[in-house]
Structure 1
């Protein structure tokens, strides 16, 4: 006899019990709370540590400042005493200096203006000016020449103003020579101008030369031109000078 077929009854799905879920949720909540408390405590500790370090740094800066202040207060009386001593004896550092040493502290220079001459000369002549330096013990003037009494480097310069005329063919030339008594004079500087005018009247032109030279004790320098009768001697345009570097 055949029995009727009955389908198998499905097995019910297993599910987590409510007690297990409660334990899991409780553990998670405790972990979150503990993590939060730990983070807060760490932040408080870090903040306290930084405050303590800042306090130590401030104390260190105050200590350094006090040390400097005490050192300055100790040095100030000595400085004031020294200043008072210098004020009382202003020439104590110079009382043993010789006239030569005093002269060396001052600029060594001579600046001269052209001396008018109606005749033709081989060496231009010069005169002192109101504002140019002329008085010192190292450079002297002798018959148109400047003589140095101390060896060294010197800057030598000269400017000569002259008349340029229509009939002039040869260039006007300026020479600065080193005078050597026992041999031929040595040329130091040279400048020339070939400008010519279209009229017969005098048209002023200027030539200027300058340079640095090593001079020996007793050396002499002077200025010469191709035609001294054409030199213009108006104030400030013809001059000759030298100064020690």
Structure 2
């Protein structure tokens, strides 16, 4: 701001003759506005920097979560629906080993604490039966191994010439109210004809019956096995087993 004042005329020039001098007078408030404006700009810049820093540091988990979900979605799209089914499964599985003290007298017993046996994901062994924890698709399997001592065709050993071997898996469901056969198979041991020469009289004839398939089972279903010729069963580790796993 500029102010103008009139200087006193020299006394010697008299009242008639005066000289007017213009003097620029600086305002005392001008520098205050400049400093204030500069400080305001600096504060706004600092505020913007702090706000950006807070926003960036406060969202790493969300950003990481978004990246993870995108990666999982991309992987699932590449591997297809079967991969998604496996990823969402409960990993329920059970594998049992066969046991009997005297297979000629005792019933075949399934054990979860023997050899490679295990149980997880809710599947359990109860009263020699596998109990299904929840409805869904399951792969059910079992194997029975036999060692039959074949006869020589005389009257005493004639029964061992054509010995039938059978193995079956049963299912009981509350929705049905009765038991039903899931799978079964029958084999003949000590065969004659084409099989002749594959064994010697008095020696063991080996065979195994394996069963396995996918079933839609309900929660609470019970599965068990039935095997004939138990005196001929082989119960060494890995020869006779029973198991289920969820798909």
Q: TM-score if structure 1 supplies the norm length?
A: 0.53
Structure 1 position 177 matched with structure 2 position 161: no
Match of 1:226 in 2: 228
**Deviation >4 Å, runs of 4+:** 77-80, 83-86, 119-123, 180-184
Match of 2:241 in 1: 239
Match of 2:186 in 1: 192
Cα separation, 2, equivalents of 1:231 and 1:79: 67
Cα separation, 1, equivalents of 2:63 and 2:210: 52
Count of residue pairs the alignment pairs up = 153
Q: Residue 115 of structure 2 contacts residue 237 of structure 2 at CA under 8 Å; is this kept in 1?
A: no
Deviation at 1:200, TM superposition (A): 1.4
Match of 1:9 in 2: none
CA shift in 2, pair 1:204/1:105, >3 Å: same
SS of 2:186's partner is strand
SS of 1:194's partner is strand
Q: Residue 174 of structure 1 contacts residue 223 of structure 1 at CA under 8 Å; is this kept in 2?
A: yes
CA shift in 2, pair 1:81/1:115, >3 Å: same
Cα separation, 1, equivalents of 2:99 and 2:206: 17
Unmatched tracts of structure 2, length 5 or more: 1-55, 66-87, 152-159, 191-198
Deviation at 1:193, TM superposition (A): 1.8
Deviation at 1:152, TM superposition (A): 1.1
Cα separation, 2, equivalents of 1:121 and 1:157: 25
Q: Residue 90 of structure 2 contacts residue 246 of structure 2 at CA under 8 Å; is this kept in 1?
A: no
Residues 72-151 of structure 1 correspond to what in structure 2 (within 5 A)?
Answer: 81-82=60-61, 106-120=90-104, 124-128=108-112, 129-137=114-122, 139-151=123-135
More helix by share: 1
Cα separation, 1, equivalents of 2:64 and 2:164: 66
Per-residue CA deviations over 1:63-89 (Å, capped at 9, x if unaligned) read: xxxxxxxxxxxxxx6898238977xxx
CA shift in 2, pair 1:143/1:166, >3 Å: same
CA shift in 2, pair 1:84/1:216, >3 Å: closer
Match of 1:161 in 2: 145
Q: Residue 173 of structure 2 contacts residue 220 of structure 2 at CA under 8 Å; is this kept in 1?
A: no
Q: TM-score if structure 2 supplies the norm length?
A: 0.53
